[in-house]
Amino acid sequence: MKSREMLSYFGLSEVPFGKEIPTDALLLLPSVKNNLAAARLLVETRGIGVITGKAGSGKSCLLRLLADGLPPGLYRTFYLGHSSVGVVEFYTHLSALFGLEPRLRRAAMFRELQQHILTLAAASHLHPILFLDEAHLLSNDILTEIRLLTNFHLDSLNALTVILCGNETLNRRLGL
């Protein structure tokens, strides 16, 4: 059966479970609303949070809902879905994501990223939100770097919100 025939058979105009569905066309079930409210609270309090669930349960869709619902003049989202890398490569990906020229040394990229994040807040009045998808694949070293990257002004400023998104093994790893 061809897709057009299948859609016609069920009285549908579009594939109901495609990834391309605009967020305003998604059905917001009570569980989705609750999780979205929790994610918005995390953004407002500017911390580090975790979203976990089984494969295909809608974690990335929740990130899209969150990103699309944030005022663009106040927040800027950055999405990184390639998590199974080393520390230097992780910083290279982050630098490129934030529009910075990657450097050869991790320390130089770290300083430049932190300065860029502070500049976003001070000059542009934008709060950056970093979505790290497939975070269950992150190494322990990178998890440590994420914590360090969010440490501003002697840990007295929350200049970056980080949302780690992955399967349930992420909760166990963080618990260790």
Instruction: Classify residue 135 by its DSSP letter.
Output: G
In a domain, residue 91? The reply is: yes
pLDDT of residue 90: 93
Alpha-carbon distance of 130 to 30, in angstroms, equals 25
pLDDT of residue 98: 94
In a domain, residue 60? The reply is: yes
Q: Name the band, by pLDDT with cuts 50, 70 and 90, for residue 176.
A: confident
Instruction: Classify residue 58 by its DSSP letter.
Output: S
In a domain, residue 104? The reply is: yes
pLDDT at 2 over 80: no
Domain containing residue 56: CATH number:
3.40.50.300
pLDDT of residue 132: 94
In a domain, residue 8? The reply is: no
Looking at the structure of the chain, the number of domains it has is 1
In a domain, residue 123? The reply is: yes
Helix spans in the chain (H): 3-10, 30-45, 59-69, 87-97, 106-123, 140-149, 169-175
In a domain, residue 94? The reply is: yes
Alpha-carbon distance of 101 to 111, in angstroms, equals 12
Alpha-carbon distance of 162 to 150, in angstroms, equals 8
Q: What mean pLDDT comes out for the span 132-159?
A: 86
In a domain, residue 48? The reply is: yes
81-138 pLDDT tens trace: 887 888 999 999 999 999 999 988 999 999 999 999 999 988 888 999 999 999 999 9
pLDDT at 61 over 90: no
3-state secondary structure of 170: helix
Domain of residue 102, residue span: 28-175
Q: Name the band, by pLDDT with cuts 50, 70 and 90, for residue 76.
A: very high
In a domain, residue 157? The reply is: yes
User: What predicted TM-score, i.e. pTM, was given to this entire model?
Assistant: 0.85
Residue 18 has φ and ψ, to the nearest 5°, of -75, 155
12-46 pLDDT tens trace: 777 766 667 777 777 788 888 899 999 999 999 98
pLDDT of residue 14: 73
DSSP string, 5-37: HHHHHHT-SS-TT-TT--GGGS---HHHHHHHH
